Structure 1
Amino acid sequence: MSPRILIVGGSIGGLFAAVLLHRAGFDVTVTERSVHGLEGRGAGLVAQREVFAILREVGFEHLARIGVVAHERIYLDREGAVIHSQHTPQTQLSWDVLFRSFRALLPDERYLIGRQAVEISQNDAGVHVRYADGGEERADLLIGADGIGSAVRVAVSGAHSQPDYVGYATWRGLVPEETVPPTAAGQLFERFAFFELPGSHILGYLVTGPDGSTAVGRRRYNWVWYRRYTRAELDDVLTDVDGVRRPFSLAPGRVRSDVAATMRADAGRLLPPSFAAAVAAEPRPFVHAIFDYAPARMVAGRIALMGDAAFVARPHTAMGVAKAAGDAFALRDALVGTPDLDAALSTYEAAREPVDRAIVVYGQRLGQSLG
């Protein structure tokens, strides 16, 4: 009889694993803590080899052509002059389209929202998950795909298995293209744009609209501003509109107005005019602190970690989705390759641990000038 597999975390990594395992004939269910689902939360992503491979696997190769092309890279000085350019065309795929497409491959009864896992344990009868709503689930195998703040990670690596803050955060905006002033749009659109200053840099590029549209006038401008913060400064930045200090990030609409106003004022003072205008055009900026994490192990008994629940790499690598896809493939292949769950999980860990650890190290190297 096929083992009952439960995946905690229904973002793109959990979906990758669920779809591959479901298609392979496994009894798999995803539980996701979000009440409203995850659509509309993504922007653009750089498709690495593993992403193309998983698109081919499920017959979605056409999705690799749904994106916005940046025709060149430009580097600006403080006054806004282009000081260097490179002809390096690159397509940003739509996270939202990718999410919706994979979600559609999983039956509704196998993707349950509003289920926040709060306690995980295991014994001879299997793995047990208790949810915030009081419900419980039992599985033969539990896959933790619940991201940087993983509840499942505690069951594998202990209560102190928390990512390490690296000294900086990213401010982000997703601005409808028509709200970016024409002068700024003329310089920034259809390009990857960069500006660097000591201990900080900003980059930006066009991405699809929230519905995946690539039509001119329906896209969004995505900017990402890396900034250093001491731990005390970060405590203030991550204290939300309700006065609660959040551990990792604040979503759009959760940043206090005084913190957002300070960030915009700094943008006007420090950034080239086009970037400052793009920042000012975002009424609801959001912020993510940057962390590193590399676990001693990815598996404990019948519990396995994947994606950011396992290894947390800095976003400079642009490999977060690729890493999740690689983990999903390795899990599927190991479970298909042997009926013995313990042997399969050992095979999975041996295949992915060195790869994922190398990605974390690569991100640390790329972020040396910021941390």
Structure 2
Amino acid sequence: MLAVTSLSDIKTVGVVGGSLGGLFQAVALSELGLDVTVWERSAGRPDDRGAGIVLQPSVAWFLSVFCGVDPDQVSVPVTHRQFFTRDGRSHHTLMRQQMISWGAIYKPLRDRLDTVRYRDGQHVDVLTPRPDGVDVQVGAAVHPVDLAIIADGSASRHRGLVAPNREPRYAGYVAYRGVIDEGELPEELSAVFRDRFSFYDGDRTQFLCYFIPGDFGTTEPGKRRMNWVWYVRADAADLDRTTTDRNGTAHGLSLPPGLIAPQVHAELLDRARRLLPQPIRELVEHTREPFAQAILDGRVSRMRKDRILLTGDAAFVVRPHTAASAEKAAADAITLFTALQQVPSVEAALEAWERDRLAEGAALYRHGVGLGQRMGLNAPEATPITRRTD
């Protein structure tokens, strides 16, 4: 057990949300000997066919130190960046990076928490502050904790307790995404992208792609997956059409895999044939179940109120161009873990944590908006979000 100097009055922690942001916090704080409970409203483990992520240092360090996972064994290395022109030609620059899947991060984190600590299919209804902690209401049960961490994502239901009137805003474009089993790609097409982080920058659009681990985190060539992202401008009406599924159900800010409406899929393929270089266009054509998400901007001016903290995308929603969403969530947890060990009082530790994370979040927020502006993707004016993803 680690020696801790500032936790004399914190023994129990409640985490609202069991995706990456909540799991980073729960795993780190469990290492401090705290009694941590995670409440996740979704039931069961999610499908491992989610999008790819650039493996950043804080995530790699967290997996290694807290989960005993060698990040090199669960990620796919690339040595070059590849830039396409409209006619399909490309040039390369040397840049080593590692690519990982959402599921390859989620699994070792989730495996660190047993069913007593991780309670899926349970929705947190109310958080009620007390002088010495927080009451977490789940259904008819009330669970008193000494510290509550809100980690329920960009559509957070509880953000307003700490940062009122700070809902994310729609940035004016969507990210279409696709994941393809490497074995389903023709060998000559797969070879074009092997060992490459590939880009195409067009007129107010960007496409990028790279290989990520396959099932169960395998990185064996031939068993990996190709991950692609295509940023496309979309006004409010286009967003509604894109995220309304084949059954007519409106999903608001995202469309899960397997639900794209036939007409929207046909339009996506037509746009790819008109606008994308040939090798990249073929990736879109080989994708059975493309999905989509709205690009959002979200920032807060505070991440703490008494014993309630905001973390991950419940605090700052940064654009995916920054490749920093998972990194930011991991750093939130590492910084809190470190502050609670090194700062003599809990209040001082939480203040130091908030100060550090506000500065980092604001910097990433500005960086992402700037990247969108340089690519010509930003809408003239961001649109407030008045609906939730569910």
- Give the structure-2-normalised TM-score: 0.88
* Residue 323 of structure 1: how far off its partner (Å): 0.7
1:149 match: secondary structure: coil
Tell whether the 8 Å contact from 2:10 to 2:146 is kept in structure 1 after alignment: no
In the aligned structure 2, how far is the partner of 1:259 from the partner of 1:249?
14
Q: Who is 2:13 aligned against?
A: 5
- Structure 2 residue 349 is the aligned partner of structure 1 residue 344: yes
Query: Deviation of residue 41 (structure 1)?
Result: 4.6
Q: 1:254 aligns with which of 259, 263, 267?
A: 259
Distance 1:236 1:134, change over 3 A: farther
Other-structure match for 2:117:
110
Distance in 2 separating the partners of 1:129 and 1:282: 42
Calculate percent identity across the aligned residue pairs: 37
Quote how far apart the aligned CAs of 1:338 are. Answer: 5.1
Match of 1:58 in 2: 66
Separation (CA, whole Å) in 1 of partners of 2:345 and 2:124: 26
Query: 5+ unaligned residues in a row in structure 1: which ranges?
Result: none
- State which of 90, 95, 98 in structure 1 corresponds to 2:105: 98
Compute the displacement of 1:204 (Å). Answer: 0.7
AA aligned opposite 1:148 = S
| CA distance in 2: counterparts of 1:241 and 1:142, whole angstroms | 39
Paired with 2:179 and 2:300, the residues of 1 have a C-alpha distance of: 32
Comparing 183-192 with 23-32, greater Cα deviation is found at: 183-192
The Cα shift of 1:314 comes to 0.4
Aligned to 2:154: 148
Q: For the residues of structure 2 that align with 1:34 and 1:339, how far apart are their CA atoms?
A: 37
* Aligned position for 2:81: 73
Q: Which amino acid aligns with 1:154?
A: G
Q: How does 1:1-371 map to 2 (within 5 A)?
A: 2-38=10-46, 40-58=48-66, 60=68, 62-82=70-90, 84-124=91-131, 126-131=133-138, 133-158=139-164, 160-337=165-342, 340-368=345-373, 369=375, 370-371=377-378
**Structure 1 residues 184 and 157 mapped into 2: Cα distance closer, same or farther (>3 Å)?**
same
Classify the secondary structure of the residue corresponding to 2:219: coil
Rounded Cα–Cα distance in structure 2 between residues aligned with 1:296 and 1:104: 34
Task: Tell which deviates more after alignment, 162-171 or 70-79.
Answer: 70-79
SS of match in other structure, 1:71? strand
How many Å separate the matches in 1 of 2:340 and 2:79? Answer: 42
Task: Tell me, in whole angstroms, the C-alpha distance in 2 between the residues paired with 1:275 and 1:116.
Answer: 41
Deviation track 1:273-316 (CA, whole Å, cap 9, x = no partner) reads 21111111111111011111110211112210011111111011
Counterpart of 2:385 in structure 1 is none
> What's the CA shift string for 1:232-277, capped at 9, x where partnerless?
2112212234433323211112322221221112111211121111
1:61 CA displacement: 5.5
For 1:318-371, what per-residue CA distance to the aligned partner results, in whole angstroms no more than 9, with x for missing partners? Answer: 111111111001222233345754433222211211011111111111111221
Q: Which amino acid aligns with 1:88?
A: M
Verify the 8 A CA contact 2:55 2:97 in the aligned structure 1.
no
Could you state the TM-score of these two structures normalised by the residue count of structure 1? Answer: 0.92
Question: 1:125/1:55 Cα in 2 relative to 1: closer, same or farther (>3 Å)?
Answer: closer
How far 1:124 sits from its partner (Å)? 3.6
CA RMSD of aligned residues (A): 2.0
Residues 77 and 195 in structure 1, CA contact (< 8 A), matched pair in contact too: yes
- Aligned residue identity for 1:104: D
Change (3 A) 1:152 1:314: same
How far is 1:226 from its partner?
0.4
Query: Retained in 2: the 8 A contact 1:306–1:327?
Result: yes
**Distance (whole Å) between structure 2 residues aligned to residue 78 and residue 309 of structure 1:** 38
1:181, 1:277 within 8 Å by CA — same for their partners in 2?
A: no
Alpha-carbon offset, residue 118 of structure 1:
3.5
Q: Distance in 2 between matches of 1:271 and 1:135?
A: 54
Deviation (angstroms), 1:73: 1.8
Q: SS at 1:87's partner residue?
A: strand
Given that 1:192 and 1:205 are in contact with CA atoms closer than 8 Å, whether structure 2 keeps it comes out as yes
Could you tell me whether the CA contact under 8 Å between 1:118 and 1:151 is conserved in 2? no
Letter of the 2:147 counterpart: L
